[in-house]
């Protein structure tokens, strides 16, 4: 019952963290910035609007947003929020989670291609290539964590015991894992320097260009799905950076949420001081994350 309460509460907080990023970016240039509840307002605004479908789209276009949001909700059921037991947990459950993300991406690509738009097709091609490289880094990081903790599940890796083992047994590998996962978070959530969520140039877009034809509640579902994705990867980083266990669930949860705010703040700072890479540099960025994860796994062979 406690895990379900944490799950519902955490999902309800998902729109808050992207708003923190926007707030930090605005403050960094001397602006007041939007309210921290702006994403909630946006979701309600999308739900009140009507749907507009192109004549070239099929049932896939209208079905995809729901599938995308549901897959992210399912993935979070496996996540040990604040180190507590998740709603669903079994051996090698992280493989299921990775393929749930792949399923959501598959329907996102289908949806964008279904519009018969050359711009959205271009974005789908870029997304497919980038996600292909990002999944390799994510798998290597999970394999490293399983080897070091001896626990082949998200609960074992990110639970109160597993996360502390990573630091006590091999702190350098925990740091390398955090670096790789932060790079994956940037990629998966289409943030700078890989993508620019604020751009209006279709030729430079990756994620945003794929949802240009979505409107109303469909767009709201797409946006909420991206909030949940940030929540998942930010949650992993929060547990690795703050692997605390005070013996009090509410206090552990408070630290977990503070960690998520810290991750959102870090992303906001990065976007404030950095610029978007040219597309060829995205490959270098992704291959660097894969190289770090692979080297960490190789060097950990001698660690018992």
CA gap 86, 242 in Å, rounded: 18
Query: CA 49, CA 47: separation in Å to the nearest integer?
Result: 6
pLDDT digits over 194-253, tens only? 887 776 665 667 777 888 889 999 999 999 999 999 999 999 999 999 988 888 888 999
Of the ranges 12-21, 154-163, 279-288, which one carries the lowest mean pLDDT score?
154-163
Of all residues in the chain, the percent with pLDDT exceeding 90 is: 58
> Which residue matches tokens 């994403």?
39
Question: Would you state the pLDDT for residue 204?
Answer: 65
Amino acid 281: pLDDT: 87
* Mean local confidence (pLDDT), 79-91: 92
Residue 47 tokens, joined: 């739900």
What pTM was estimated for this model as a whole? Answer: 0.93
Mark out the alpha helices in 189-278 (DSSP H runs): 216-241, 249-273
CA distances from 58 to 64, 65, 133, 243 (A): 11, 13, 30, 46
pLDDT of 284 higher than 70:
yes
The pLDDT score that the predictor gives to residue 221 is 95
At 197-214, the pLDDT tens digits run 776 665 667 777 888 889
- Cβ atoms 250, 279 nearer than 8 A: no
Give the mean model confidence (pLDDT) for residues 264-270.
94
């Amino acid at each position: 019952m406690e895990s379900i309460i944490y799950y519902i509460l955490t999902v309800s907080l998902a729109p808050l963290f992207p708003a923190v990023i926007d707030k930090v970016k605005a403050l960094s240039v001397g602006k007041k910035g939007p309210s921290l509840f702006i994403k909630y307002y946006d979701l309600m605004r999308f739900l009140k609007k009507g749907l507009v479908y192109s004549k070239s789209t099929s049932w896939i276009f209208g079905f995809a947003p729901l599938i995308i949001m549901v897959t992210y909700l399912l993935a979070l059921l496996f996540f040990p929020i604040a180190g507590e037991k998740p709603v669903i947990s079994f051996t090698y459950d992280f493989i299921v989670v990775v393929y749930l993300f792949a399923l959501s991406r598959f329907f996102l690509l289908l949806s964008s291609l279904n519009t018969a738009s050359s711009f959205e097709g271009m974005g789908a091609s870029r997304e497919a290539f980038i996600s292909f490289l990002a999944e390799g880094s994510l798998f290597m990081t999970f394999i490293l964590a399983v080897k070091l903790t001896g626990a082949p599940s998200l609960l074992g890796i990110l639970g109160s015991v597993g996360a502390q083992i990573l630091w006590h047994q091999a702190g350098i590998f925990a740091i390398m894992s955090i670096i790789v996962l932060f790079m994956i978070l940037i990629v998966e959530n289409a943030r700078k320097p890989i993508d620019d969520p604020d751009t209006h140039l279709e030729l430079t877009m990756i994620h945003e260009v794929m949802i240009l034809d979505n409107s109303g509640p469909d767009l709201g579902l797409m946006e909420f799905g991206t909030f949940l994705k940030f929540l998942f990867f930010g949650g992993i980083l929060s547990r690795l950076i703050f692997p605390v266990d005070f013996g009090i669930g509410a206090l552990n949860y408070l630290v977990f949420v503070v960690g998520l705010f810290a991750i959102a703040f870090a992303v906001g700072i990065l976007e404030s001081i950095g610029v978007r890479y040219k597309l060829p540099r995205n490959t270098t960025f992704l291959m660097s994350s894969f190289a770090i994860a692979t080297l960490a796994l190789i060097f950990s062979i001698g660690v018992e």
